[in-house]
Structure 1
Amino acid sequence: MIFSEITQVLTEQFGIDSFSVVNQKANQPIVQIQANQLFELCQFLANDERLFFDYLACVTGIDNGPAANTMEVIYHLTSIPYEHNLAIKVTVERPADGTPPKVPSVSSIWRTADWHERETYDLVGIFFENHPDLRRILLPNDWHGHPLRKDYQAQEFYHGIKVIY
């Protein structure tokens, strides 16, 4: 199935205003959706027999910086039997109160999302609602901050060990 056919199926299911095409010429074409649509759309992509996106290859978290005041989560999907690819992009604002931005977890749809979402939470600081075990995966539990955020301030020492060179 080519990208225009995938977007046609999505338009029929969710309506014309439910997503926007970001890049259709990439190896993995990209559609952008709102965070509150993510779970339902992903469930449809995984379960619809015409699409059958059975493999979540990667979840990428991006911090666009304090000036843009947004962060992004990008999901890289593949249908192994149908050999088509799709990326889904969700942009969220940074809450003014300093709490992490929230995106629904898709770990109940694709089991691989469990660790991908934990890594994104750990390094970028995006909270995945309804994740079964959202905790740090690469850094120690008592680490301060999220190192891939643009406003991250590295701590000078961690348990007496110099961190900054």
Structure 2
Amino acid sequence: MSFEEIKLLLIEKFGAEVIIDEETDGLQPALLISPARIAEVCLELRNNSNTYFDFLSSITGVDYGVEANRFGVVYHLASIPYQTQLTLKVSIDNDRDLNNLPSFPSVTSVYRTADWHERETYDLLGIFFEGHPDLRRILLPDDWEGFPLRKDYKTAEYYRGIKID
């Protein structure tokens, strides 16, 4: 299926409001999905015999900058039998307060590989995934403060008495 056909399939299934926008000017076009619907969209794209996006190759968190106060997640899907790829994006505004992490629905119920991708995104950017079965740090120690890939992150001088800066 073409990008346009996939877009129409999703609109027919979920309504026009499921697709917020699209990006077609880059090397790989992307559909910007309503954040609350991302798991449903992924499930449909995986289970639909016309698309069969059976492989989640990556999840990437995005910090759009301190001025934008916006965070997002990019999903790279692939259909191995159809040899096609699709990029989905979700984003929300967030005040950057560490007590109010940006939050999106987990897609671990659709793709088991999302487990570690979402944990890494949480660990490095502080993006929370609702419904994740075991959301905890995966690369940094459990008591690490902050999220190092955020654009406003300040590196600590010491960790447990060891100079790190």
- The match for 2:91 is 91
Distance, in Å, in 1 between the alignment partners of 2:96 and 2:56 is: 31
Q: CA 1:150/1:25 → structure 2, altered by over 3 Å: closer, same or farther?
A: closer
- The match for 1:145 is 146
How far the C-alpha of 1:137 sits from its partner, in A, is: 0.5
Does structure 2 conserve the Cα–Cα contact (< 8 Å) formed by 1:3 and 1:24?
Answer: no
Q: Calculate the TM-score normalised by the size of structure 1.
A: 0.93
Aligned: 1:110 with 2:148: no
How far the C-alpha of 1:91 sits from its partner, in A, is: 0.6
Does structure 1 conserve the Cα–Cα contact (< 8 Å) formed by 2:58 and 2:75?
Answer: yes
Uncovered stretches (5+) of structure 2, i.e. residues with no partner: none
Distance, in Å, in 2 between the alignment partners of 1:144 and 1:112 is: 26
How far the C-alpha of 1:126 sits from its partner, in A, is: 0.2
% of aligned pairs identical? 51
- The match for 2:156 is 155
Distance, in Å, in 1 between the alignment partners of 2:96 and 2:138 is: 26
Q: Calculate the TM-score normalised by the size of structure 2.
A: 0.93
Uncovered stretches (5+) of structure 1, i.e. residues with no partner: none
C-alpha RMSD of matched pairs (Å):
1.5
Does structure 1 conserve the Cα–Cα contact (< 8 Å) formed by 2:21 and 2:33?
Answer: no
- The match for 1:18 is 18
Q: Aligned pair count?
A: 164
